Amino acid sequence: MKVHITADMEGIATICHDIQSDTKGGDFPRMREIMTGEVQAAIEGARDAGANKIVVCDGHDTGRNLLIEKLDRDVEVIEGSSYDLGMMAGISRDFDASFQIGYHSMRHTHAGVLGHTFTYSVAELRLNGTVVGESGLSAAIAGHFGVPVVLVSGDAHAVRQAKNLIKNLVGVSTKEGVGLYAVRTLTPDKACELIRKGAKEALELVGDIEPYTIKKPIMMEVEFERPLMAQYVSRIPLVKRKDFKSVAFKAADMVEAFHVFELMNQVASYAKDEGPL
Ligand SMILES: [Zn+2]
């Protein structure tokens, strides 16, 4: 059985402030260790269920977070940035299942932790009318290749949002927001124990969980935090301005949708230093 693991950092146990997940932050060395532990726990759970090929994508920020020397020696890791398909780099039709580890809730989630959708510039992302965060986006890319997401670990609302989209998946909640920069969290050890158990259980459900597929063509609508971002992004050919802060793009499939979404975020970033609008 072949498993693809996409790993983010904001959803791991403990983290409550983005400075902790920033390579320049003093807590970063601790956080990358905790992230590595959670990924290793998922690998161990997958092995318990008989997985024989595991590819891990280091999907947070620079893609240089995981301490590879502490992972199971027989996995392959995609490290660095940026790579095709972002956090889902390496996915293909060869895989039987996808795991999401350290995932966080979408932007503007009450009691979510560090909720954002790809960047903090995106207020809301909709695929054929359904609001998705990074978990839904990654699930839809996996679904494009016929691969089901069977395990999601992260903050309680990331897990809830994933379960709303995908029936029967196994969710492991590591913490919950109790303030914008405050969490009630499991200890890293406890989170790892639950992730290992969840990973084994999730692989036993492969076959009972459908890939998350979005019907083609895909109408992608993106609301930005600021109108100037929408103005800049609407200059990309075939991207239409919908309203003050929103744009829309009709994509042939999920890979095209993701490529354009990534480009939109790059273009929107030019608005950041352009005054308050
Ligand atoms: Zn993220």
- Output the CA–CA distances (angstroms, integers) from residue 246 to 122, 126, 183, 230, in the order listed: 10, 11, 31, 6
Confidence of residue 151 (pLDDT cuts 50, 70, 90): very high
* Ligand 1 center from residue 8 Cα (angstroms): 6
Quote the distance between the C-alpha of residue 24 and its chain's center.
22
Is 90 exceeded by the pLDDT of residue 147?
yes
Q: What single DSSP character describes residue 250?
A: E
pLDDT at site 77: 98
In the chain, % of residues over pLDDT 90: 97
pLDDT at site 275: 83
* Ligand 1 center from residue 247 Cα (angstroms): 22
* Ligand 1 center from residue 57 Cα (angstroms): 13
* Ligand 1 center from residue 120 Cα (angstroms): 10
Confidence of residue 182 (pLDDT cuts 50, 70, 90): very high
pLDDT tens digits for range 39-95: 999 999 999 999 999 999 999 999 999 999 999 999 999 999 888 999 999 999 999
Instruction: Read off the pTM.
Output: 0.97
Classify domain 2-108+134-204 at the CATH topology level: Rossmann fold (3.40.50)
Domain 218-271: what homologous superfamily? Answer: Dipeptide transport protein (3.30.1360.130)
* Ligand 1 center from residue 270 Cα (angstroms): 20
Q: Cα dihedral angle (120, 121, 127, 133), rounded to 10 degrees?
A: 0
* Ligand 1 center from residue 114 Cα (angstroms): 9
* Ligand 1 center from residue 224 Cα (angstroms): 17
Ion ligand 1 neighbours, Cβ < 5 Å: 8, 134
* Ligand 1 center from residue 117 Cα (angstroms): 7
Average pLDDT over the chain, rounded to an integer: 97
Rg of the chain (C-alpha set): 18
* Ligand 1 center from residue 100 Cα (angstroms): 11
| Sequence spans of domains, the chain | 2-108+134-204, 218-271
Confidence of residue 99 (pLDDT cuts 50, 70, 90): very high
pLDDT tens digits for range 190-235: 999 999 999 999 999 999 999 999 999 999 999 999 999 999 999 9
* Ligand 1 center from residue 65 Cα (angstroms): 13
Please state the rounded mean pLDDT for residues 169-185.
97
Task: List the beta strands (DSSP E) in 65-217.
Answer: 76-78, 97-103, 122-127, 130-132, 149-155, 170-179, 182-185
Which of 107, 137, 118, 124 has the alpha carbon at shortest distance from 212? 137
Which of 195, 186, 179 has the alpha carbon at shortest distance from 14? 186
* Ligand 1 center from residue 122 Cα (angstroms): 12
pLDDT tens digits for range 4-42: 999 999 999 999 999 999 999 999 999 999 999 999 999
